[in-house]
Amino acid sequence: MKYELVVGLEVHCQLNTVSKAFCGCSAQFGKSANTNVCPVCLALPGALPVLNRRVVEDAVKLGLATGCSIAPHSVLARKNYFYPDLPKGYQISQFEEPICSEGMVHIDAGEGKRDIRLIRIHIEEDAGKSIHDIGEETYIDLNRSGVPLLEIVSYPDLRTPKEASAYLQKVRQIVKYLGISDGNMEEGSLRCDANVSLRPVGQEEYGTRSEIKNMNSFKNVEKAIEYEVERHTAILESGGVILQETRLWDADKGETRSMRGKEFAHDYRYFPDPDLVPVLVDQEMIDRILLELPEFPEERAVRFTEEYAIPAYDAAVLTVERELADYFEETVKISGDAKASSNWVMGEVMRMLKESYLDIAEFSIRPQRLGALITLIGKGVISNTIAKQVFELMLKSGDAPAEIVEREGLAQVSDSSAIEAVVQGILDANPGQLAAYRGGKTKLLGFFVGQCMSQTKGKANPQMVNEVLLKKLEG
């Protein structure tokens, strides 16, 4: 029997607010354990929460960006359960009245574009962190307690592991473009649970699902779902029954393992939090936030191809991240050459970012300096080859490209008499190759060009070298 995969994702996105969701404590990642805490996030008696307005605005931003309906009235509720790193014994979340509902995320996993529907986006606070790898004890760090999250819940519309990965990448791209999260999966800023089931092809009713947790990369999301497909298929084909359960993904072993049974939905005994008033979103707030929304990747890529006349492939690569697209546009403003700017950003800049594990915001060569370098190439002051040397020196010294060219004596040689002398010397030193060229082996032109560029240490004007060589070779 052939089965169809059905996947729905629950994504927790940590917002990059300065303070936590319901108190003034810092939400900064990486601080010493239990230093970003106060009576509210420690759940001390009498402490009262106050909702961070920025959390509401970020939720509305994401809702508008994904085509959700924004609720004018939504309620913060208590989600009751016990866990050692949950000091209040409940988590502030939303249940029956979320702030955003019925949206859409557009994906392309390489097999055509698809629309993945969203059930809801709601506000939630994070729990603390249990640490199990210090000796034999378990320690609790409550720095993360109360950090603001948005939970993004999709319908079970995903049909392949690649689609699940593409969906998660798209969500990450959206929140980064909006500037509401850094989307860092390794630090837990973006966390994902997958609900996976199989059903016979053609059947409308869903099969029994497994919930997979602990996936901290796009590749692990794919691998975990692939593993579950194989596991479910083997059980069903042997006549077994799938148990509804929560499973953990073990990336080292490449397998999932059972964490706890989930025969029925948990009864979290949700009820409105009596310490918090309802969240009210008026049309004025929505209109203001609409004006703040950025130009999104698809729109920006189309504009790049039209405005800068660069290939669609270049535009797609340059708009993957908002900061990279901004960097490109700032470079073009200085250089005036969009294609050359695209080549440099996609080539040397992205190579250095990958090698140095940097974001474009951390890159030492700012777009104004890169634009100035490209301008020097366009004016014929330096060749592309020399420009790459200058680029490396810019990385080391931080100096402007014109300063480096002057200091290092790297300006391009465009003196025709000097180039003629070099060319004549190369031809005199290689009589065999000269005779072969004139005998019909015209591919040797590249050999002569290479010799000339080598002798001038790349500083000769390549166009002039070609012109002088052809004139002498044909003569």
What are the tens digits of pLDDT across the range 16-35? 999 999 999 999 988 999 99
Region 297-320 average pLDDT: 96
| Helices (H), ranges, 1-130 | 53-65
- Taking the CA atoms of residue 433, residue 436, residue 438 and residue 439 in that order, the dihedral angle to the nearest 10 degrees is 180
Q: Which pLDDT score, from 0 to 100, does residue 264 have?
A: 52
The per-residue pLDDT for 391 is 96
pLDDT in tens, 323-355: 999 999 999 999 999 999 999 999 999 999 999
What was the pLDDT predicted at 134? Answer: 84
Percentage of the chain surpassing pLDDT 70?
97
Q: What is the pLDDT of residue 467?
A: 77
Beta-carbon contacts of 140 under 8 Å, excluding residues fewer than 6 positions away, are: 34, 84, 85, 128, 129, 130, 131
pLDDT bracket for residue 262 (50, 70, 90): low
Please give the average per-residue pLDDT across 85-96, as a whole number: 95
What local confidence, expressed as pLDDT, does residue 409 receive? 84
Phi, psi angles (nearest 5°) of residue 390? -60, -40
Q: Is pLDDT at 217 greater than 70 in this prediction?
A: yes
What pLDDT does 434 receive?
78
Q: What is the pLDDT of residue 456?
A: 77
Torsion of CA 13, 16, 20, 26, to 10 degrees: 140
**Whole-number pLDDT of residue 415:** 61
| Per-domain residue ranges of the chain | 3-285, 295-408, 416-474
**Mean pLDDT across 359-372:** 95
Cα–chain-centroid distance for residue 75?
A: 31
221-235, 338-352, 383-397, 418-432: segment of lowest average pLDDT = 418-432
Name the pLDDT band for 470 (thresholds 50, 70, 90). confident
Task: From 62, 431, 1, 39, select the one nearest 281 (Cα to Cα).
Answer: 62
Q: pLDDT (tens digit, 9 = 90+) per residue, 112-121?
A: 889 999 999 9
How large is the average pLDDT for residues 136-150? 94
Mean pLDDT of the chain: 91
Answer CATH for 416-474 from 1.10.260.40, 2.40.40.20, 1.25.40.10, 1.10.10.410: 1.10.10.410
Integer Cα distance of 10 and 209 in angstroms: 14
pTM to 2 decimal places: 0.85
| 447/420: higher pLDDT | 447
Average pLDDT rounded to a whole number, residues 70-76: 97
CA distances from 376 to 286, 346, 394, 414 (A): 47, 19, 14, 14
Under DSSP, is residue 2 helix (H, G, I), strand (E, B) or coil?
Answer: coil
